[in-house]
Amino acid sequence: MVTGLGASGSILQRNVAVHATLVQCFLPDEKGTEMPRFAANLSLMFTEVPFLDRFAVAANSGFTAVEFLLPYAFSPEDIAARLKDNGLTCALFNLPPGDWSAGERGLASFPERFCELKEGVKAALPYAIGTGVKQLHLMAGLARRDDAKAAAAYRNALAWTCEFLGSSGLDVVIEPINRRNMPGYFLDDFAYAAGLIKDLAIPNLKLQFDIFHCQIIHGDVTMRLRELMPLIGHIQIASVPSRHEPDGEELNFPFLFAEIDRLAFSGFVGCEYNPRGATMEGLNWFAPYAAS
């Protein structure tokens, strides 16, 4: 049950009921075809209700998995309970990125903050164990990629984090992010990320392939998916250029979803988009893929 909804609760519950009807109308045919496993991003979706209430709303909307940016304002036990109560899998969250509210977006490329990074990774481990998540995103930070010290610090941070978390059976993912949305971000190139993963050759280091960022940085999304699929641990989606629901604009998402299946991707596809309006009103795109 969703709590703390107040007067908006009845409206949200009616929207859930309407969406359930849409799901029944648009379910895929019974050919045994595997569809992408979508994870609702609870940091961006269902923000009409408090964070801990979003788990129930996501489950009621047909999602079987969730992801979020930063869980650290809540206890691991509270988040684990919401996952269990709603039958949800935790697909991904970020390792501590420094002072997010002050604009920091990761510590890995700063050699002078390596000790702080290590403490953050250690602090995240109880959340990983409590939620059952299998992979965590390590953000690089705002630094110049042509800075030799920053590049060396990033490699060192990746190696240490992978070794530390690997002992608990966890993967580390890295995500190229476009500089239009995050100016100055160190990791802004998919080829660089792929080369780094291949060069380090660490078994639990994977690529987080965000289709939104790939289209803005490089374009040619389908061919890059095909080329990089062996390295990919997690995929994320949003329309381009607006970062709204994946239902149009520059990209043909039904085609991309079918391609992800054809490539036998077994991970999760995170819905990291900003809804145009109320989250429930924008879920028509999801109806063919929702759990009934």
Strands 205-210 and 171-174: parallel
Would residue 98 count as lying in a domain?
yes
Average pLDDT over residues 32-58: 91
Do 234 and 244 contact (CB within 8 A), yes or no?
A: no
Phi/psi-derived region of residue 187, left when phi > 0, alpha when psi is between -120 and 50, beta in every other case: beta
- Torsions phi, psi for 83 (to 5 deg): -65, -50
Would residue 154 count as lying in a domain?
yes
Q: Report the alpha-carbon distance of residue 38 to residue 236 in Å, rounded.
A: 9
Would you please indicate which residues are annotated as catalytic (active-site) residues?
175, 272
Q: What total number of domains does the chain contain?
A: 1
Mean pLDDT value across the chain: 91
Please report the pLDDT score of residue 21 as a whole number. Answer: 39
Please report the pLDDT score of residue 292 as a whole number. Answer: 63
Residues 209-256 pLDDT 10s: 999 999 999 999 999 999 999 999 999 999 999 999 999 999 999 999
- Full residue range of the structural domain in which residue 39 is found: 8-289
Q: Report the alpha-carbon distance of residue 115 to residue 71 in Å, rounded.
A: 21
The residue ranges of DSSP E strands in the chain, in sequence order, are 37-41, 65-67, 89-94, 135-137, 171-174, 205-210, 232-237, 268-271
Would residue 52 count as lying in a domain?
yes
Do 83 and 56 contact (CB within 8 A), yes or no?
A: no
Would residue 17 count as lying in a domain?
yes
Enumerate the H helices of 201-277 as residue ranges: 211-217, 221-228, 253-262
Residue in the block written with tokens 């998995």: 65
Average pLDDT over residues 148-174: 98
Would residue 266 count as lying in a domain?
yes
CATH number for 245: 3.20.20.150
Would residue 3 count as lying in a domain?
no
Please report the pLDDT score of residue 34 as a whole number. Answer: 55
Residues 58-67 pLDDT 10s: 999 999 999 9
Would residue 21 count as lying in a domain?
yes
Would residue 24 count as lying in a domain?
yes
Q: Tell me how many degrees the CA angle 179-265-88 measures, rounded to the nearest 5.
A: 85
